[in-house]
Amino acid sequence: MIIGNKNFEGHTYIMGILNMTPDSFSDGGKFNTVDSALKHTEQMIAEGADIIDVGGESTRPGYVHITPEEETERVCPVIEKIRANFDVPVSVDTYHYQTAEAAVKSGAHLINDIWGFRYDNGEMAAVAAKYGVQVCLMHNRKVPEYGDFLNDVVNDLAESIRIAEKAGVDRNNILTDPGIGFAKSFEQNLELTNHLEVLDRLGLPVLLGTSRKSMIGLALDLPSDQRIEGTLVTTVIAVQKNCLFVRVHDIKENKRAITMTEKITGKI
């Protein structure tokens, strides 16, 4: 999969999280100025991040919704500065098509949508098709009720893919994300992480995002700033299940975990 001028294949890569938010569950307010964001971006790249994911609205439980205009004001100046200063692909973490379009115009290569193009009436898919950018379609549901959980997740993502392709998005530009922590119980999050291979039925690359999430906190009874070991375990699983990306906060540690796992399994 090509994102920006980088070709991603045959390996598990790192998407570094850059939250331009005052209320993120894990690092809210730490990097929400342009200068601090750029310094953190530089650090993440030095530690092994392969793509930077810029978000302007927290999606933690109970998060405060903001307008697309406010979200755009948070992310676009940073995207522009990252593109001007670093040779790294950039994604924008948004489900607002207005923000996505502004971000792509500012230099974002990928739209990372937590609603998998199912939040609006096709506007986000149209933006992605118009600009020919890559997309990450995450699984989510407004009502977390399932009949056959794993199959329902796959079928929901298949619908997101259909929406994308109907709008004109190239299938080669699509990543999928199982949506750990979204519209799922603790037990369902564990089950899906353990059976990521079900997404292979979609025939598309997979991104796993579990970094510091509540699944880890509940499993280990730890606050968000003490969940790195739990995150590393999920990263090892991601490598074993052939995920193309992991989306994480702690770059250095996850990079080491990926390298060690890939050496053991013969992937590198």
pLDDT single digits (tens) 77-101: 999 999 999 999 999 999 999 999 9
Q: For residue 25, what pLDDT is reported? A: 46
Q: For residue 30, what pLDDT is reported? A: 57
208 or 28, which is more confident: 208
pLDDT single digits (tens) 16-36: 999 998 745 455 445 568 999
pLDDT single digits (tens) 247-264: 999 999 999 999 999 999
pLDDT single digits (tens) 144-198: 999 999 999 999 999 999 999 999 999 999 999 999 999 999 999 999 999 999 9
In angstroms, rounded to a whole number, what is the distance separating the alpha carbons of residues 184 and 264?
Answer: 32
Q: Is 213 a residue of the active site?
A: yes
Strand partners, 174: 135
Name the CATH superfamily housing domain 2-265. Dihydropteroate synthase-like (3.20.20.20)
In the set 213, 227, 241, 255, the catalytic residue is 213
Q: Is 6 a residue of the active site?
A: no
Q: Give the contacts of 119 (CB within 8 A, at least 6 positions apart).
A: 95, 113
Predicted model pTM: 0.93
Q: For residue 211, what pLDDT is reported? A: 98
